[in-house]
Amino acid sequence: MSWGVRPKRRVGVMGGTFDPVHHGHLVAASEVMESFALDEVVFVPTGEQPFKANREVTEAEHRYLMTVVATASNPRFTVSRAEIDRPGKTYTIDTLRELKSQMPDTELFFITGADVLPQILTWKDADELWSLAHFIGVNRPGHSLDAEGLPETGLSLLEVPAMAISSTDCRARVAEGKPVWYLVPDGVVQYIAKYGLYREGRARTGNVS
Ligand code: ATP
Ligand code: MG
């Protein structure tokens, strides 16, 4: 019998608006999981943000449920309500602290696309982020993947298969009556249709029930 120290669990954290979640998110999470030998990736949909870049964001419950539907088939993907249940504006630092206290013996790996990397230094308590999680930046079409200005030790860059998909584009396609099949998981296509999300002239806050 071996008495070696049990290695810490390695958990990825993928934050996002997920309005809607698409295959770019899922491929990024899956690739990081494989390359960094993660045990699990937790998707964390952001809380209610009345506006993001001057647009209305879909009700958190819809974004959360679409993320659950999209990840349901993968036993190592989970979805956290940490941000959607936290009142007020949510910050990544608070989420990492919360996850760390829920899973004290865990190493956290925060996954972000190349478009988000340059913003990290402006986040709340940016200096402390690096002590709570290792950051992993992945490439994204249209954005260069570099770590300029970011601490070398707290960050890794990973090339993943490039997926030229964005939630903005998926919303626009639905509004124009174009299909989003194969850009988002089948269950998410069906969820969007069921609740009439993103259709022009419809309230974005359609009720879940
Ligand atoms: P929006 O167009 O509404 O901003 P989005 O497609 O950028 O949506 P987000 O929910 O904003 O999706 O992104 C969540 C995280 O996933 C971010 O770190 C983002 O950089 C990353 N990401 C999103 N799409 C891709 C993609 N196609 N390839 C790699 N990373 C991605
Ligand atoms: Mg985005």
CA of 74 to the centre of ligand 1 (A): 20
pLDDT band (50, 70, 90) for residue 178: very high
Q: Is 88 left (phi over 0), alpha (psi -120 to 50) or beta?
A: left
Ligand 1 in reach of 32 Cβ (< 6 A): no
List of long-range contacts for 119-123, beta carbons under 8 Å, 24+ apart: 120/150, 121/149, 121/150, 123/91, 123/92, 123/93
The residue whose CA has the least distance to atom 25 of ligand 1 is 24
pLDDT band (50, 70, 90) for residue 2: low
Which tens digit of pLDDT belongs to each residue from 66-98? 999 999 999 999 999 999 999 888 899 999 999
Domain boundaries, the chain: 9-163
pTM of the shown model:
0.93
Ligand 1 in reach of 16 Cβ (< 6 A): yes
β-sheet with 77-79: strand ranges across: 77-79, 40-45, 9-16, 106-113, 133-138, 155-158
pLDDT(146) > 60: yes
* CB burial readout 79-98, b (16+ within 10 A) else e: bbebbbeeeeebbbbbbbee
Please give the mean pLDDT across all residues of the chain: 92
CA of 172 to the centre of ligand 2 (A): 14
Q: From CA 63, how far away is CA 48, in angstroms rounded?
A: 10
CATH number, span 9-163: 3.40.50.620
pLDDT band (50, 70, 90) for residue 151: confident
The residue whose CA has the least distance to atom 6 of ligand 1 is 166
